[in-house]
């Protein structure tokens, strides 16, 4: 492939982002994990239509 596509990025997002996100005190107190945050982001982001 010459460039990344939406599905390709989505498939590696958790592995790439997991060590780059740190939850704050409020998130930890509410039992929100890094995987929860990544899942929320992936659920909100949609591929660009062409």
pLDDT tens, the chain, 50 aa long? 788 888 999 999 999 999 999 999 999 999 999 999 999 999 998 887 75
| Annotated domain spans of the chain | 6-44
What is the CA 40 to chain-centroid distance, rounded?
Answer: 7
Q: Find the distance separating the first CA and the last CA of the chain, reported in whole Å.
A: 18
What pLDDT, on the 0 to 100 scale, is given for residue 50?
57
Between the CA of residue 21 and those of 16, 17, 32, 49, what are the distances in Å? 10, 6, 12, 28
């Amino acid at each position: 492939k010459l460039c990344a596509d939406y599905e390709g990025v989505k498939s590696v997002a958790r592995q790439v982002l997991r060590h780059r996100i740190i939850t704050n005190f409020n998130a930890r107190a509410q039992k929100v994990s890094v995987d929860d945050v990544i899942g929320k982001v992936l659920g909100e982001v949609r591929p660009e239509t062409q």
